[in-house]
Amino acid sequence: MDVFRKKDVNEILKHTSPLKRTLKTWDLTFLGIGAIIGTGIFVLTGKGALTAGPALSLSFLLAAICCGFAGLCYAEFASMAPVAGSAYTYSYIAFGEIIAFIIGWDLILEYALGAATVSVGWSGYFVNLISNLGIHIPTVLTAAIGTTPGVTTYFNLPAFVIVLVITWIISIGITQTKRVNDTMVIVKLFVIILFIVFTVWYIKPHNWQPFSPYGWYSFHGGTAAGIIPAASIVFFSFIGFDSVSSSAEETINPSKTLPRGILISLLISTVLYIIMTLIMTGVVKYTIFAKYLNAPILAVLHATGQTWLSIIVSVGAILGMTTVILVQLYGQSRITYSMSRDGLFPKFFGEVNPKFQTPFKGTWFFGIVTAIAGGLINLNILAELVNIGTLTAFTLVSAGILWMRHTHPELHRGFKAPGVPFTPIVAILFCLTLVAGLNWETWVRFIVWFAIGMLVYFGYAKGHSKLDPKNMANSAPTATDKGAD
């Protein structure tokens, strides 16, 4: 069937990218850390602790192991096909066009809604910080309609503005994006280390008892609780590391630097997450976080009397979530750029600005859409929807490694995932386990999104695909395609 037509890796590698190659291993590592460390530490630890108790550290470890095994599969694909598009391109190579489109559609869900969701959390910390400095934004402009019962709100202005600012940074070039991200990640890591150094002495081991009050999986108060459901929640913290692989066409020596960047960023972030959660649940009883769901770290600072740290931590939280938004919007623009280049999206999204060497128009289109979503929609319930889209992508990339090892063993791989077939099979099992921890409402919303995607595919993408025989004659690289390296 022509819906399963595939891309050839060797043909892909013949094309010269118009994007500018400047990223090195540590740039990619910082890009990964920028995507991972943010919402997880500064927001989700509160809800996660209430779900798993002190065993939240095991939930983070479980989510990290899932991402680690999937990350090994991403690293092999990235070394085998170092082009923009991440899981979308990998699925196009392994399984064919319709599966690739589904994954690309899922990644739009992951990055756009993920960035919008994080922008809402960013807004909460920002409003709190400037209010402490005596600056007040009208309440009606601090949240979407219906966000807080009994409080009248219409629009989340800070969330809207931050997304537009970051969109502008991404649109004017990868060099500027890299510099801004690297600077904010360094400051963010400094704040986290500062927090660890000044709070570790206040740990009271009795707060860790019982360590796992709800076990691996149980129902408490009518909702799922335990280590696995908490892992399904905090999995959102790791979303975005896969966007590192979207930077393949802007990376120097991608077959080696991409795997290193993906795996090093995952390792550093996981260690910091586990240390932070053990400290937080050791300093205060996990039940206390019910009063600090939007800013759980502040519960620890109040308990230790270190209110002087709260402003510093708020700055760290703001920078942390800023880098998450930046990396997710960056990944979003590169996914749609790849889909447009393949004919599955209109040409508008794939046009590269000759001055900035970025997909300028597509970046601004989704930046504006994401900004409006962050300003108008209460996105708290959509975090799990983002998770299920990502877990689907992880599952297919892992399955793709199994398939490519079987069907194309001759292809050059700058990095080979160890332990195949064990590694991708474990990644798939972990992903399915985390999906099992999601609510059924999430599946309903995901099916609706999937149905809309199928309408787009059969209504537009299938007929405009560069692999469609009638379009093949016009799909050869042009001078525009062979822009500056």
**For the chain, what are the domain ranges?**
22-113+174-303+377-472
Contacts of 429 (CB under 8 A, 6+ apart): none
CA distances to 219, 332, 403, 404, 435 from 388, rounded to whole Å, are: 21, 17, 22, 24, 6
Exposed (0-12), middle (13-18) or buried (19+): which is 406, by Cβ within 10 Å? exposed
Contact at 8 Å (CB) between 227 and 216? yes
CB 482: neighbour CB atoms within 10 A? 12
Is the predicted pLDDT of residue 461 greater than 50, yes or no?
yes
Q: Does the structure show a pLDDT above 50 at 388? A: yes
Q: Closest by alpha carbon to 333, among 86, 67, 162? A: 86
Q: What is the DSSP string of 368-437?
A: HHHHHHHHH---GGGHHHHHHHHHHHHHHHHHHHHHHHHH-TTS--SS--TTTTHHHHHHHHHHHHHHHT
Residue 65 has pLDDT above 50, yes or no: yes
Burial class (CB in 10 A: 0-12, 13-18, 19+), 298: buried
Residue 261 and residue 75: Cα distance in Å, rounded? 9
When comparing pLDDT for 60 and 316, which is higher?
60
In 3-state terms the chain splits into helix, strand, coil percentages (rounded to 5) of: 75, 0, 25
With contact defined as beta carbons under 8 Å apart, do 370 and 112 qualify?
A: yes
Task: Look up the CATH architecture of domain 22-113+174-303+377-472.
Answer: Up-down Bundle (1.20)
How far from chain centre, in Å, is Cα 452? 22
- The single-letter DSSP state of residue 15 is S
Q: Compute the Cα dihedral for 252, 413, 415, 180 and give only its sign.
A: positive
pLDDT at 455: 94
Euclidean distance between CA atoms 298 and 45, whole angstroms? 11
Q: For residue 278, what pLDDT band results from cuts at 50, 70 and 90? A: very high
Question: Which of 30-34, 85-89, 231-235, 334-338 is least confident?
Answer: 85-89
Look at the alpha carbons of 427, 432, 433, 439 in this order and tell me if their dihedral is positive or negative: positive
Please tell me whether the overall predicted TM-score, pTM, comes out greater than 0.85 for this model: no
The sign of the dihedral angle between the CA atoms of 261, 419, 106, 118 is negative
- pLDDT tens digit string along 294-328? 678 878 888 888 777 877 888 888 887 888 888 78
pLDDT at residue 482 greater than cutoff 70: no
Cβ atoms within 10 A of the Cβ of 360, count?
A: 19
| Across 29-43, 58-72, 247-261, 372-386, least confident range | 372-386
Token pair recorded at residue 308: 């002087």
The rounded distance, in Å, linking the Cα atoms of 463 and 283 is: 59
